[in-house]
Structure 1
Amino acid sequence: MSQIGVIESWDDAKGFGFIRCNNLKQQVFIHISAFNTKLRPVAGDSVEFDLVNKRGKVHAENARLLKSSATQKIAQGKKTKASNKIKTSSNPLILLIAVSFIGVFALAYSLAILPLWPFVYISIISLMTLLTFAWDKRAARNNSWRISEARLHLLSLLGGWPGALLAQQWLRHKSAKGRFKVILWLAIISNITICAGLVYFAEQQQLININLA
């Protein structure tokens, strides 16, 4: 049975929400899989759908978004918000920090302070993080499935933060969100502190071995 209603609430991260219809007393559950389009719905969108009742549970299927003033207002609001974002330029110092961190591991290997694997690991995890940021930026432009900020932060915490900084500077992704940047820099400081300690103890162990020899 075809119905027309308005999406009253929508959780984009979980991919579901609830529709309000004037001729129905209860809200109708709708999942993202009910839409036959790549467009992501938002609260306030009008939607046409088939009402399905399975075992007393009502949900929507075969849904399609309709043009509505609510959708246009939300879109206009997003454009205004985007235009009000602070435009940031690339910071050579930040790029230097990202590249230097990887360079330290290369130098430590060349001086026989550390084995090769830390340099290889940091290089690979940084590249993975950079590509993940690029994928998320592409998803944001195409209005498709996004990568959660928690996963982006986890990659940075695991040592991929040079790739995150390069993504912020080169791709201009996650470069204007204050809370995200604060958490990222906390991960960076933690990483640098831990890695500096590892390099220091490895160097001290090397000196001990030389003295014993």
Structure 2
Amino acid sequence: MRMQGKILNWHDDKGFGFVDPLTGGQRAFVHIKSFISRARRPVNGDVIHYELVQESHHRYKAECIQFADDVQTAKPQRYLSNNHHAQKTHSKRTLEALLTGLFCAFILIFSLIGSLPLILAGAFIVMSTVTFVAYGIDKSAAESGRWRTKESTLHVFAFLCGWPGAFVAQRLLRHKSSKHEFQSFYKVTVALNVAGIVFLFTETGRTFLNQIVLPWLANA
């Protein structure tokens, strides 16, 4: 729902505040990252156009925010730009979801036929579940003001075969999906996992797996 409202309680040092609709309705959370253009910083009293998005616990946030004067002066060009950006983002997320699904299918199939140890598929399933739950707990804590889970902990879970669960949590829960620095580290955990699987298909990797890893697991 596209709405028009006025910014209030803006904390410029923290980059967030709230917006009240001009015609009355739900107050929504505003974050600096939700502005389409960051050519200038918002201040209290600025009139903005925004999409009202309902989150969990009946809370609302503003997305795709534009200053009212920007809308009036460059509406046709901005609409085309936003539409192109939305299509590009949708295509990127679809590709990421497809590649994640193919990776999980690859691990499962090759574990079932014996090319990879079955315990590896079990590790991905268990750790992905643990990681998804950890994301859910952290999102709930963020919304209620409770103690947060460290980002380093989420990255460790992702690295330890839990990154598919992290991917699903980021998309379904809309948590940690837009923070650039966090996403950079997350992608590193994905790359390391993929590289590790590729390594296991090399002669050195098979020797390492059969002579070191599996005997260690058997004696653990």
Give the CA deviation at 1:128.
0.8
State the partner residue of 1:144. 146
Q: Distance in 1 between matches of 2:199 and 2:127?
A: 20
Q: Deviations over 1:8-59 (max 9, x none)?
A: xxxxxxxxxxxxxxxxxxxxxxxxxxxxxxxxxxxxxxxxxxxxxxxxxxxx
Q: Deviations over 1:61-118 (max 9, x none)?
A: xxxxxxxxxxx55499523652642668661222222222221111112322122111
Change (3 A) 1:171 1:98: same
Identity of matched residues, %:
26
Structure 1: segments with no counterpart, 5+ residues: 1-71, 206-213
Q: Distance in 2 between matches of 1:155 and 1:142?
A: 23
Q: Please identify which structure carries the higher helix content.
A: 2
Q: Distance in 1 between matches of 2:205 and 2:149?
A: 39
Normalised by the length of structure 2, the TM-score is 0.53
Asked which structure has the greater RCO (Cα within 8 Å, sep 6+), the reply is 1
SS of corresponding position for 2:34:
coil
SS of corresponding position for 1:152:
helix
The root-mean-square deviation of aligned C-alpha atoms, in Å, is: 2.7
Q: Deviations over 1:129-163 (max 9, x none)?
A: 11111110111111111001010111111111111
Task: Compare CA radii of gyration and give the structure with the larger one.
Answer: 1
Letter in 2 for 1:151: T
SS of corresponding position for 2:201:
helix
Q: Any residues of structure 2 matched to 1:194-205 within 5 Å, and which? A: 194-201=196-203
Number of aligned pairs?
Answer: 134
State the partner residue of 1:82. 31
For the pair 1:179 / 2:163, whether they are aligned, the reply is no
Normalised by the length of structure 1, the TM-score is 0.55
Q: Residues 199 and 205 of structure 2 are in contact (CA less than 8 Å); yes or no, is this contact kept in structure 1?
A: no
Change (3 A) 1:115 1:97: same
